[in-house]
C-alpha cells in the first residue's frame, strides 16, 4: 500500500466524500472516450472505476459502530498492441475511502495496485503490486478465484461476499478482526488478497476449457485488512483483537480451473494452493513456520438465472505446534461456504452460509469459530448501461442485506466467549468501464 495522505477529522465527514471523488473520476475519464482495444501498432487508454456508498445499523452489540462507509476507485490502463497482436500495458489503481461515525471521521487516499503486464497467445504475464490472480480467472471476482460470490453486493472494494469486510466494518474492532481472520476459510486459499510485489503467469484457455495460473511473492510487505467504519475512533469492544499477520516469504500460489459453457449451463470447477514460509517471531507462543493452504470449489449458472456455488478451504497441512500452551492440540483451520443467487430482470436475490474455525492470532491462542448467514437483494437502475456515453459501459445498483453472525472462542473449558448479532446494511454502487 502506498498512501499519499491520511487526514483524520474531529468533525463529522460525510460519506459523500467518496462519491464526490467518483464524480471527479468521471470528469477526468470523459476525454479518454474510446474504450475499444488498441489497433495493431497503436496506443490506447482504458479507464474504469466505481463509487460505493453504504450505511448500516447493528443489533445485539451495544458498542458496535453503525454509520456510513464510502469508497471510490479509478483504474487507468495505457496499452500498446504490437503488429503480432500482443498487448503491452501498465495498470494503475487509485483509491479513496471515506468513513463517518460519531465522534470522529477520517479519509484516506492510496495507490493500492500498480503493475506491468503482457497478454498474447502465450497467456498473461504480470509483474507488480496487486492481489494474487487477475480477475479473468473466475466470475466477476476482485482478483482472486472464488466460487461463492453473492451477486447482490458490490463487485469490488469492501464487499458483501465472504471475507469482503463490508458488514464487519460496522462491528467493534476486536470482534471484527477475529471474524475477518477466519472468513477467508471456505472462500479462497490463504494469501489470495495479499497485494505485495509479485510475478504472475496466467495460461491461455485450452479448447477443452482448462486454464491455470501461478504467482510468486518474495515477501509480503503490506498488511491485509479493511477500513473499519469508525476510523480512528473505533471501539475495540470487550474482545481481544487479532494480531496483524506476520511477514511471510517465498509465497507461491497456484490455480487450475475447468470451465464448460453451453446455452443452458455455465460450469466452473477449480482449486487453488498456496505455500509460504512464515516469520512468526512477532507472535508469542507460535511455532508455525510454514503455511500450506488448499481451496477448491464449484459454481454453476443455469440459464443465466440461477447461480449456485460451494467451496471449501483447508489449512491443516500447515506446520503448527502440537499443543496450544500445553492445554489442547492445535486446531486445523477449515472453512466451507455455500451460496445461491436468483436473477430476474433487474433484480438479484440471494445469500450464503459460511462456517470457519481456526486458532486465534492472539497473545493467548483460543479456538475461534464463526457461523455466518447473509441474505441480500439488489436492483439494477441503469438498464441502458450508457449514462456516460462515448463508449463507456455503466451500471447503477441499489443493494440491501442482513448479515447474521455467531462467534465462539474457547481458550479453555472454563474460558469461553459467545457473541452473536446482526448488521443491517443498505447502499448504492456506480461503476463504469
Percent of the chain with pLDDT over 70: 76
Q: What is the pLDDT of residue 242?
A: 78
Residue 425 burial class via C-beta count within 10 angstroms: exposed 0-12, middle 13-18, buried 19 and up = buried
Percent of the chain with pLDDT over 90: 41
DSSP secondary structure letters along 121-173: TTEEEEEEE--SS-TTSSTT-SSS--S---TTS-SSSSBSSTT-BTGGGGS-H
Q: What is the pLDDT of residue 9?
A: 36
Q: What is the pLDDT of residue 5?
A: 35
Highest mean predicted confidence (pLDDT) among 221-225, 332-336, 381-385: 332-336
CA separation for the pair 99, 108 (Å, rounded): 9
More confident residue, 71 or 361: 71
Q: What is the pLDDT of residue 222?
A: 62
Highest mean predicted confidence (pLDDT) among 137-141, 324-328, 393-397: 393-397
Q: Write out pLDDT tens, residues 105-162.
A: 567 788 888 999 999 999 999 999 888 776 544 333 333 467 887 889 998 888 998 9
Mean pLDDT for 51-77 is: 83
Peptide bond into 103 cis (omega under 30): yes
Q: What is the pLDDT of residue 389?
A: 73
Q: What is the pLDDT of residue 64?
A: 61
**Is the pLDDT assigned to residue 394 strictly greater than 70?**
yes
**Is the pLDDT assigned to residue 77 strictly greater than 90?**
yes
- In 3D space, the residue among 362, 110, 425 whose CA is nearest the CA of residue 236 turns out to be 362
More confident residue, 407 or 62: 407
Q: Write out pLDDT tens, residues 251-295.
A: 999 999 898 999 999 998 999 999 999 886 655 555 567 889 999
Q: What is the pLDDT of residue 8?
A: 37
Q: Where are the domains of the chain?
A: 2-432
CA separation for the pair 96, 111 (Å, rounded): 9
Confidence band of 78 (pLDDT split at 50, 70, 90):
very high
Q: Write out pLDDT tens, residues 345-372.
A: 999 999 999 999 998 888 778 899 999 9
**DSSP assignment letter at 27:** H
Q: Which CATH architecture does the domain made up of 2-432 adopt? A: Beta Barrel (2.40)
Mean pLDDT for 159-174 is: 87
> For the chain, what is the mean pLDDT?
80
Q: What is the pLDDT of residue 102?
A: 45
Amino acid at each position: 500500500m502506498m498512501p499519499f495522505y491520511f487526514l483524520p477529522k474531529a468533525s463529522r465527514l460525510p460519506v459523500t466524500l467518496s462519491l464526490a471523488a467518483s464524480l471527479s473520476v468521471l470528469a477526468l475519464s470523459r476525454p479518454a472516450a474510446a474504450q475499444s482495444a488498441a489497433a495493431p501498432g497503436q496506443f490506447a487508454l482504458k479507464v474504469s472505476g466505481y463509487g460505493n456508498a453504504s450505511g448500516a445499523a447493528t443489533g445485539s452489540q451495544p458498542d458496535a459502530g453503525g454509520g456510513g462507509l464510502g469508497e471510490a476507485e479509478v483504474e487507468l490502463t495505457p496499452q500498446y498492441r504490437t503488429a503480432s497482436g500482443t498487448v503491452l500495458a501498465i495498470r494503475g489503481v487509485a483509491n479513496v475511502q471515506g468513513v463517518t461515525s460519531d465522534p470522529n471521521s477520517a479519509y484516506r487516499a492510496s495507490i493500492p495496485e500498480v503493475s506491468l503486464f503482457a497478454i498474447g497467445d502465450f497467456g498473461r504475464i504480470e509483474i507488480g503490486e496487486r492481489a494474487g490472480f487477475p480477475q479473468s480467472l473466475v466470475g466477476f471476482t476482485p482478483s482472486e478465484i472464488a466460487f461463492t460470490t453473492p451477486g447482490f453486493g458490490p463487485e469490488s472494494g469492501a464487499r458483501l461476499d465472504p471475507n469482503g469486510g463490508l458488514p464487519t466494518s460496522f462491528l467493534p474492532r476486536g470482534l471484527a478482526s477475529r471474524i475477518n481472520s477466519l472468513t477467508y476459510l471456505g472462500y479462497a486459499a490463504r494469501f489470495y488478497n495479499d497485494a505485495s510485489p509479485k510475478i504472475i503467469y496466467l495460461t491461455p484457455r485450452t479448447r477443452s476449457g482448462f486454464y491455470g495460473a501461478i504467482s510468486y511473492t518474495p515477501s509480503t510487505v503490506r498488511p491485509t485488512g479493511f477500513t473499519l467504519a469508525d476510523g480512528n475512533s473505533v471501539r475495540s469492544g470487550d474482545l481481544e483483537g487479532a494480531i496483524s499477520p506476520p511477514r511471510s516469504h517465498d509465497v507461491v500460489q497456484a490455480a487450475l480451473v475447468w470451465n464448460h459453457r453451453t446455452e443452458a449451463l455455465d460450469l466452473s470447477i477449480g482449486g487453488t494452493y498456496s505455500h509460504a514460509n512464515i516469520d512468526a517471531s512477532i507472535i508469542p507462543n507460535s511455532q508455525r513456520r510454514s503455511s500450506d493452504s488448499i481451496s477448491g470449489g464449484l459454481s454453476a449458472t443455469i440459464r443465466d438465472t440461477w447461480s449456485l456455488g460451494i467451496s471449501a478451504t483447508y489449512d491443516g497441512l500447515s506446520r503448527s505446534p502440537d499443543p496450544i500452551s500445553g492445554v489442547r492440540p492445535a486446531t486445523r483451520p477449515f472453512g466451507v461456504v455455500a451460496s445461491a443467487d436468483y436473477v430476474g430482470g433487474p433484480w438479484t436475490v440471494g445469500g450464503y452460509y459460511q462456517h470457519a474455525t481456526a486458532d486465534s492470532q492472539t497473545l493467548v491462542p483460543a479456538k475461534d469459530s464463526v457461523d455466518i448467514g447473509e441474505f441480500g437483494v439488489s436492483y439494477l437502475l441503469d438498464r441502458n448501461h450508457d449514462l456516460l456515453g462515448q463508449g463507456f459501459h455503466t451500471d447503477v445498483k441499489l443493494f440491501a442485506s442482513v448479515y447474521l453472525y455467531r462467534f465462539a472462542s474457547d481458550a479453555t473449558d472454563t474460558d469461553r466467549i459467545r457473541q452473536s448479532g446482526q448488521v443491517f446494511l443498505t447502499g448504492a454502487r456506480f461503476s463504469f468501464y
